Amino acid sequence: MSLSERIALWTGMIAVGLTALAVSLHAAKIDGERAALAAQTEARLTAERDSARDSLARARATVVHDSIYLTEWRTRYVAIHDTVLRHVTDTLTVERFVAIADSTIHACQQEVLALTTTCALEHRQYLLADSAATFWKLQSPSFWQRHEGALVVTTDVVAALAGFALGRVSK
């Protein structure tokens, strides 16, 4: 093999190697951008899930507190109604008190029911946010998927270099 053929062989191998390096760097840049986007999306979904979890905790605490408060006062009212007011129903003041107390208890029960519905909606929103975050984590590409382009380019370059070298050597 003459000097000019060796120079041509090495020049070709260097050109193919530099091309492979450029393609590999470009693939790494795209992989970096993809990873940054994935991290940003995962952070956003995690923040939404955490916000939904906090909102659910507040809603549950409100429902529990208000339910206990309503039960305590309704028990006290029923005790007073059954003992003291059972025999004193002839005055207009007592009738008004009973009517106001009954309507207040009914309104409070409706409010607790509305809070329970809100709590159920908050729980559903949390489940949706959690499933979205979990789904995103499952969809994150694996190591081989992230570096698939670089692996394909590397094997193509190795094959091209081997073919180029074998073609030159066999002459």
pLDDT in tens, 36-87: 777 788 888 888 888 888 888 888 888 888 888 888 888 888 888 777 777 7
Q: Is the pLDDT of residue 149 over 60?
A: no
> How sure is the predictor about 124, in pLDDT bands with cuts at 50, 70 and 90?
confident
The domain total for the chain is 1
Sign of CA dihedral 43, 139, 125, 59: negative
pLDDT of residue 104: 87
Q: pTM to 2 decimals?
A: 0.52
**Which residue matches tokens 């409070």?**
108
Residue 28 C-alpha from the chain's centroid: 27
SS3 content of the chain, % helix, strand, coil (to 5): 90, 0, 10
Element (H, E) at 86: none
pLDDT of residue 38: 74
Rounded to an integer, the average pLDDT of 101-111 is 87
156: domain range?
3-170
pLDDT of residue 22: 66
